C-alpha cells in the first residue's frame, strides 16, 4: 500500500481480551483504521466510540453491513467464530478471525466454503506463526543451504489455566482448555517450519485439577511428510515459567518482572465464586483498564529448536541463533517498530492486493485438525492419521 492510499477500514466483532491484545497494532499502524465495533457490553462500545469514533453495534449483521468496513476482525469466543465469519462473508467482507479457526472441523468447513463462495479472503490469526523470528527461521529453511528439517522441539510452561476464565473456557466442548487457545499457536509455528503437511499425531493430555475441569497440559509427537517430526509440550499448570529461558520476555514481547511470580494463582484464590472470577476476566477486556505492558521485543511462544542437516536453529524474541557445522551466528530480527506488523501486512495484503497469507482458512483448519487429533489420541491411546493438512 502506498503512503497515499487510505487505511484499510476494520470492523471488530468482540471487544474482549483478544481485541485488547491486537490494540497496539491497530493503534500504531497507519495502514489500518478501526471504523466500527460490535460488542454486548455498553461500556466497551462507549470506550470504542470515545477512542476511535466510527459506529458501534449490538449485533454482528449490522456491523457487517457498514459500508466503511472492508475487513471484519472476529475476536469473539471460539464457539461463535463460525456464525460471525459466515455473517461477514455473506456481506462481502474479508475476514480476519482470531485463532483457533473453529472448535469443530464441520464449522471450519462451513466457514471456508462461505468465504470461498463469497470471493473474500479468510485469514486466521493472530497466531505466533506470524512472529518475525519464525519468519526468519522459515526463510533459512526455505533457502535450503542448511539441509532438510529433521526434528523440531517446542515447549512452553505457563500459568494459563489459573488466569481468570469464563465457564466456557474450562469446557473442552466449547473450545476451553489449553489446546484451542494455546496449543494452536505452537502447532501453527511447527507446521510452518516443517512444511505444513502433518501425517500422524500421538499424544497424551493432562486434566489434573478438578476445579479447572479441562485439558491443562499435553505432549504430542507429530510426523510430517518428508520425514520430519516434532515434539510439542505445553503446560498451563506450570509453576516454572519458561519465559525465564526467553530472557524474561513475556509472550507478548514485554519485559517480565520475575517478582510477580505466583500473581495469577494469588488473584484467583482471592475470587470466592464463579461470579467473582468472571468479574476478574471482565476487567481484562477493552474499556476496563487492565491493559498489557508495551512490547519492547518480538512476541514468542516459548523455546523452539529446529534441527536441520547442517544446523540447529534456536528462536528467541530478538532473532534466531544458528548453530552450524563449524560456526555459530545470530540473525537479529528487525527492530520492533509496531507490534504484530506481520498480521497487519496480511490484512493489508488481503484487502488491497488480493494476496492470501500462509494462514488461510485451509491452514487454520489443518492446525485445528491437529488440536483435535491430540485430544483423540490421548483418549484412544493410539496414533491418529491426519486427513486435512495443507502445505505452505
pLDDT tens, 20-49?
A: 999 999 999 999 999 999 999 898 999 999
Alpha carbon distance 287, 163 (integer Å): 19
- Give the pLDDT score at 129: 96
- Give the pLDDT score at 3: 44
Superfamily of domain 8-128+340-360: NAD(P)-binding Rossmann-like Domain (3.40.50.720)
Sign of CA dihedral 32, 37, 38, 42: positive
Q: Poorest-confidence range of 116-130, 245-259, 349-363, 372-386?
A: 349-363
Alpha carbon distance 279, 277 (integer Å): 5
In a 10 Å sphere around its CB, with 0-12 CB exposed, 13-18 middle and 19+ buried, how is residue 108 labelled? buried
Categorize the per-residue pLDDT at 314 as very low, low, confident or very high, splitting at 50, 70 and 90. Answer: very high
Q: In percent, how much of the chain has pLDDT > 90?
A: 89
Grid cell 461477514 is found at 88
Q: How far is CA 177 from the centre of its chain?
A: 14
Largest CA distance in the chain: 61
Residue 258 cell numbers, joined: 520475575
β-strand partners of 151: 229, 307
Residue 287 has pLDDT above 80, yes or no: no
Categorize the per-residue pLDDT at 273 as very low, low, confident or very high, splitting at 50, 70 and 90. Answer: confident
The residue among 391, 206, 231, 368 whose CA lies nearest residue 303 is: 231
The residue among 261, 217, 259, 212 whose CA lies nearest residue 241 is: 261
SS3 content of the chain, % helix, strand, coil (to 5): 40, 20, 40
CA distances from 122 to 215, 346, 364 (A): 28, 11, 9
Residue 4 has pLDDT above 80, yes or no: no
- Answer yes or no: are the C-beta atoms of 55 and 67 closer than 8 Å: no
Among 3.50.50.60, 3.90.1300.10, 3.30.360.10, 3.40.50.10420, what is the CATH number of 131-337+370-385? Answer: 3.30.360.10
**pLDDT tens profile 48-90:** 999 999 999 999 999 999 999 999 999 999 999 999 999 999 9
Query: 208: left (phi > 0), else alpha (psi -120 to 50), else beta?
Result: alpha
Residue 86 cell numbers, joined: 459466515
- Give the pLDDT score at 289: 66
- Give the pLDDT score at 281: 83
Residue 249 cell numbers, joined: 520476555
What number is the average pLDDT over the span 94-110?
A: 97
Residue 272 cell numbers, joined: 470466592
Residue 277 has pLDDT above 60, yes or no: yes
- Give the pLDDT score at 63: 98
Q: How far is CA 215 from the centre of its chain?
A: 18
What number is the average pLDDT over the span 308-313?
A: 98
Q: How many CA within 13 A on the CB side of residue 387?
A: 3
Categorize the per-residue pLDDT at 355 as very low, low, confident or very high, splitting at 50, 70 and 90. Answer: confident
Burial 171-207 (b: 16+ CB within 10 A, else e): ebebbbbbbbbbbbbbbbbbbbbbbbbbbebbbebbe
Residue 388 has pLDDT above 50, yes or no: yes
CATH 3.40.50.720 location in the chain: 8-128+340-360
Residue 164 has pLDDT above 60, yes or no: yes
CATH 3.30.360.10 location in the chain: 131-337+370-385
What number is the average pLDDT over the span 349-371?
A: 94
Alpha carbon distance 91, 119 (integer Å): 11
Alpha carbon distance 373, 377 (integer Å): 6
- Give the pLDDT score at 2: 43
H-type alpha helices, the chain: 17-28, 42-52, 60-64, 81-90, 105-118, 132-143, 178, 184-194, 263-270, 274-282, 341-353, 361-380
β-strand partners of 230: 152, 222
**pLDDT tens profile 171-194:** 999 999 999 999 999 999 999 999
Amino acid at each position: 500500500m502506498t503512503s497515499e492510499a487510505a487505511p484499510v477500514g476494520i470492523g471488530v466483532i468482540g471487544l474482549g481480551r483478544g481485541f485488547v491484545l491486537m490494540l497496539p497494532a491497530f493503534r500504531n499502524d497507519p495502514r489500518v483504521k478501526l471504523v466500527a465495533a460490535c460488542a454486548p457490553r455498553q461500556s466497551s462500545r462507549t470506550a470504542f466510540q470515545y477512542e476511535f469514533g466510527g459506529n458501534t453495534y449490538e449485533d454482528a449483521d449490522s456491523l457487517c453491513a457498514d459500508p466503511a468496513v472492508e475487513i471484519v476482525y472476529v475476536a469473539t469466543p471460539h464457539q461463535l467464530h463460525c456464525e460471525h465469519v459466515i455473517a461477514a462473508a455473506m456481506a462481502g467482507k474479508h475476514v480476519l478471525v482470531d485463532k483457533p479457526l473453529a472448535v469443530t472441523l464441520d464449522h471450519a468447513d462451513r466457514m471456508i466454503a462461505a468465504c470461498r463462495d463469497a470471493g473474500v479472503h479468510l485469514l486466521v490469526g493472530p497466531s505466533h506463526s506470524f512472529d518475525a523470528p519464525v519468519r526468519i527461521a522459515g526463510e533459512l529453511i526455505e533457502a535450503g543451504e542448511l539441509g532438510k528439517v529433521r526434528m523440531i522441539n517446542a515447549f512452553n510452561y505457563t500459568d494459563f489455566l489459573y488466569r481468570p476464565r469464563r465457564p466456557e473456557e474450562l469446557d473442552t466442548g466449547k473450545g476451553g482448555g489449553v489446546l484451542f487457545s494455546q496449543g494452536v499457536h505452537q502447532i501453527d509455528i511447527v507446521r510452518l517450519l516443517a512444511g505444513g503437511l502433518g501425517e500422524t499425531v500421538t499424544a497424551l493430555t493432562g486434566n489434573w485439577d478438578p476445579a479447572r475441569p479441562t485439558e491443562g497440559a499435553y505432549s504430542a509427537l507429530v510426523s510430517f511428510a518428508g520425514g520430519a517430526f516434532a515434539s510439542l509440550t505445553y503446560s498451563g499448570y506450570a509453576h516454572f515459567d519458561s519465559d525465564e529461558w526467553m530472557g524474561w520476555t513475556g509472550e507478548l514481547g514485554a519485559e517480565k518482572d520475575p517478582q510477580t511470580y505466583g500473581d495469577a494463582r494469588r488473584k484467583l484464590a482471592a475470587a470466592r465464586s464463579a461470579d467473582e472470577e468472571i468479574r476478574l476476566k471482565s476487567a481484562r477486556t477493552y474499556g476496563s483498564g487492565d491493559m498489557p505492558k508495551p512490547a519492547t521485543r518480538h512476541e514468542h511462544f516459548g523455546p523452539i529448536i529446529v534441527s536441520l542437516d547442517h544446523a540447529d536453529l534456536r528462536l528467541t524474541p530478538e532473532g534466531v541463533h544458528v548453530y552450524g557445522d563449524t560456526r555459530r551466528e545470530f540473525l537479529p530480527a528487525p527492530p520492533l517498530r509496531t507490534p504484530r506488523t506481520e498480521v497487519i501486512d496480511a490484512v493489508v495484503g488481503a484487502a488491497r492486493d488480493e494476496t492470501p497469507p500462509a494462514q488461510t482458512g485451509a491452514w487454520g483448519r489443518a492446525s485445528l485438525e491437529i488440536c483435535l487429533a491430540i485430544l483423540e489420541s490421548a483418549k484412544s491411546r493410539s496414533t491418529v492419521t491426519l486427513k486435512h493438512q495443507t502445505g505452505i
